[in-house]
Chain A
Amino acid sequence: MFDSVECNSMETLVSPLENTKFDVDAVRRDFPILASRIHGHPLVYLDNAATTQKPQAVIDAIVNYYTSTNANIHRGVHQLSVDATRMHDNARAKVKSFLNADDVAEIIFVRGATEGINLVASTFGKQQVGPGDEVVVTAMEHHSNIVPWQVLCEQQGATLRVVPIDEQGQLLWEDFESLINKRTKLVAVTHVSNALGTVNPIREIVDLCHQHGAAVIVDGAQAAAHMTVDVQDLDCDFYVISGHKLYGPTGIGVLYGKRELLESMPPYQTGGDMISSVTFEKTTYNTLPHKFEAGTPDIAGAIGLGAAIDYLRELDWPAVCAHEEELLTHATDALSAINGVRIIGTADQKRAVLSFVIEGAHPHDIGTILDYEGIAVRTGHHCAQPVMERFGIPATTRISLGLYNTRDEIDAMVCAINKVKEVFRC
């Protein structure tokens, strides 16, 4: 009963992709893990929104650093420390140009998007948000861009307000406008939704908020790997990314902040490196960005992130984006053609993420069957329970793309979905 699905017939269901200049086979060879087999099948990695795989260049950069340069930074007169410091500084400069920040002082290394948001909440937030003030988030935020603001509002006697979304998973613009007022101190919004794939109009949002004197923090965790991010063009006040979702290592991320804001904010953590002088009477804080980087940082992580950025810069970025867009369209068309499949998140502007439910099959069971075919997807609420609630579902199955995914992999996934339907007779 389980083996009657004819998978080659998929071809007729979907429109052919246009040819691109992008050589995906060559790119795949840069990612050693993609040669793995899982449960006897070639790995089909479609969980890139959770974390991306790492190119050999990133792995090598980390290994080489520990093999030949390891030393603590900023504190040694010796050669290795000087070299390590220079490599760490270079990594920051690469991030600065990747995000098109104005100054390296605006690039703060943190552990990831989550820590970046928490840093802003516990410094800028504590300083700027008071009793009666308001903080605005959207209904499509990841828990990491909800909970810090909820806690801040509780602590400060402020109110958390939520911009609703429509059936397609897009912000309701009129509601947004009416929520922003002179009590609004801060607006926290994701650039790309990890559960729905929606791309938000950050520049318009920033304009609206700035007209009312509110600062904007953008969660770029799902954006940076799929589009060009220019923080000066966006004019946002803060922007956070996670290195591991950008083909870099875990444990490293970036908070971008406008210099004048960072200057006026109190420090986040205290200790070594973030001070310029300490006596028992008084401590003077170090200059940016060090003021926000207490203690020995993840040096290898920053260097790995720099290597990931170098790697990405060598690719034809418009071609990468076009490739991902074609895959998303292909996957959307193929899944939509399957009876009983409902796609959750159909915004006009989407990137890399495709969430869906199947009538009669629970996402967790879908995930198990796909895994058995070597296909890695995420199932569950994707740390976005308010999104699930909005669509009246407990969970979805989510595929999320990386630059190394192929049309064949999408077809393998679609084929496995047909097996799911066989098993559950749905």
Chain B
Amino acid sequence: MLDDELRELYQDVILDHQQDPRNFGPMQHPTHHAEGFNPLCGDRIRLELDMDGDRIRQVSFTGAGCAISTASASLMTEALTGKTRAEAEAVSQDFRDLVTGRLRDTEDGETAETSRLGKLYVLAGVQQFPVRVKCATLAWHTLAAALNEEKPEPVTTE
């Protein structure tokens, strides 16, 4: 029998995104890109953005990773499509707060942050697995690097 915490971590939405990642594959002409690496587990991700001025027209990723990092990247690409840079950065902050357990749970759910996170909320189970937080945030760290593309070095979670 698997316990609730594990069940919550590996819920269907996450497994679905792991097995069938959305926006997966290289982009023809990205305007921004960055690479991320988690040396602890060998996960690698390359994130590509097609920016229309301040707005993200399209996001895609390639790479190999665990279920958590793959699902997080896949869900991220869905969540960010059409967002402005500022909106993307706000979601990114909320997401990091969520998986590190810093997003306060209110009794009856819906805060501004949780509603802004939408489907990304399925990764809340990562809170119970502190060693996996880096898996969940790899794509988001890489996003930050892509949006501030001056950095030539691949980002790492270490």
Contact = CB atoms under 8 A, between A and B. Distances in A.
A119 interface: no
Nearest to A422: B2
A2 B41 contact: no
A306 B10 CA distance: 46
A388 B42 contact: yes
Contacts of A394: 41-44, 64-65
Given A2-B2, A372-B6, A423-B2, A364 B64 contact: no
Interface in B17-54: 18-19, 40-44
Nearest to A382: B42
Contacts of A380: 40-42
Contacts of B15: 423-425
B2 A363 contact: no
Nearest to B10: A423
12 contacts: A39-B3, A362-B41, A362-B65, A362-B66, A363-B66, A365-B67, A368-B129, A368-B131, A379-B41, A381-B42, A385-B42, A423-B2
Interface in A386-426: 388, 394-395, 419, 423-425
Contacts of B67: 361-362, 365, 424
Contacts of B70: 362
Interface of A: 2-3, 39, 360-365, 368-369, 372, 379-381, 385, 388, 394-395, 419, 423-425
B3 A372 contact: yes
Nearest to B63: A394
B72 to A, nearest CB: 13
Contacts of B2: 2-3, 369, 372, 419, 423
Contacts of B135: 364
Contacts of A369: 2, 6, 10
Contact of B7 (A2, A360, A425): A2
A79 B5 CA distance: 57
A365 B42 contact: no
Nearest to B134: A364
A423 B41 CA distance: 20
Contacts of A360: 19
A294 B67 CA distance: 48
Interface in B124-140: 129, 131-132, 135
| Residue with the greatest number of chain A CB neighbours at <10 A, chosen from B6, B68, B70 | B6
A186 B132 CA distance: 41
